[in-house]
Amino acid sequence: MYTLYLGNKNYSSWSLRGWLAMKLAGAPFTEVMVALSDKGPPNPANRAFSPSGCVPCLHDGDVVVWDSLAIAETLAERHAGLWLADRAARAWARSVCCEMHSGFPALRSEMTMCIRERVDVRPWSPALAADVARVAGIWSEGRRRFGAAGAFLCGALSLADAFYAPVAFRFRTYGVAPEGAAGTYLAELLAHPLLREWEAAALAETAVVEADEPRIVYRDKLAASAAAPGARG
């Protein structure tokens, strides 16, 4: 039996990726929730289950895997269907997962995941605008090149979608509405039963991590926008 250590579902984008990988694997697993704290070093107590002190962390007997991409690859070694059968689609999916895993710094810092929130923080920084455009481009390309057999990036739901699922929640929170195929994909992904399951659990949480709360992070910007002439009440 697998055990997956997760952070708060309202905030933890990395945990969502690991959880979706587990769901795609189809194997039974136990969830252990670990409360996130405001920005800073990981809680030293977390090292009892995770060498990095971070989540997600997967335990499979005496095998411990403490990174979302490593979790995805470890599960794909043991369970069929997480990656695509087609070689070109699989290479593309791996590339966009790695790009998300290591890139998009402005998106991560300026659009924290907070599933229960709805807020518009425009104008965006140039770096954030570039990250948003790149995500929309990836989504459009996946649908155009590999999506004929289903509604998701490479047709059927796969690890590629697991790695962009947190972005889907971020886009909804911050009112990002891609056009065309990217927008259709966003709606399909948010409507998937697995994302709805995660969302329901996130909305049931009551913990507040101020460093990830948009109305706290953007307090001054939102106040200035509300006070501007012509602002809606």
Give the pLDDT confidence score for residue 231 in this predicted structure: 59
What does the alpha-carbon distance between residue 200 and residue 131 come to, in Å, rounded to a whole number?
28
- Start-end of H helices in 79-158: 87-102, 105-110, 126-146
Q: Is pLDDT of 233 > 50?
A: no
pLDDT of residue 184: 98
Q: What pLDDT is recorded for position 217?
A: 93
Do 113 and 182 have their domain in common? yes
Q: Please tell me whether residue 4 adopts helix, strand or coil conformation.
A: strand
If asked whether residues 20 and 120 sit together in one domain, one would say no
Bridge partners, 30 (sequence order): 3
My answer on whether 91 and 194 are in the same domain is: yes
Dihedral angle of Cα 207, 210, 214, 216, to the nearest 10 degrees: 130
Characterize the bridge pairing of strands 29-33 and 2-6: parallel
pLDDT in tens, 125-169: 999 999 999 999 999 999 999 999 999 999 999 999 999 999 999
- The tens digit of pLDDT for each residue in 81-96 reads 999 999 999 999 999 9
Q: Could you tell me if 31 and 4 are in contact, meaning their C-beta atoms sit under 8 angstroms apart?
A: yes
Q: Do 108 and 179 reside in the same domain of the chain?
A: yes
Count Cβ atoms below 10 Å from residue 2 Cβ, excluding itself: 19
105 and 185 assigned to the same domain: yes
- Answer whether 132's CB lies under 8 Å from 176's CB: yes
DSSP 8-state symbol, 51:
T
CATH number for position 22: 3.40.30.10
Residue whose pair of structure tokens reads 């890139």 in the numeric block: 103
Separation between Cα atoms, residue 228 and residue 226, nearest integer Å: 6
Clarify whether residues 74 and 173 are in a common domain.
no
In a shared domain, residues 92 and 190: yes
**Same domain, yes or no, for 51 and 92?**
no
pLDDT value at residue 230 = 63
CATH code: domain of residue 151: 1.20.1050.10
Contacts of 52 (CB under 8 A, 6+ apart): 42, 66, 67
Structure letter (DSSP) for residue 156: S
Tell me how many domains the chain contains. Answer: 2
Domain that residue 112 falls in = 87-204
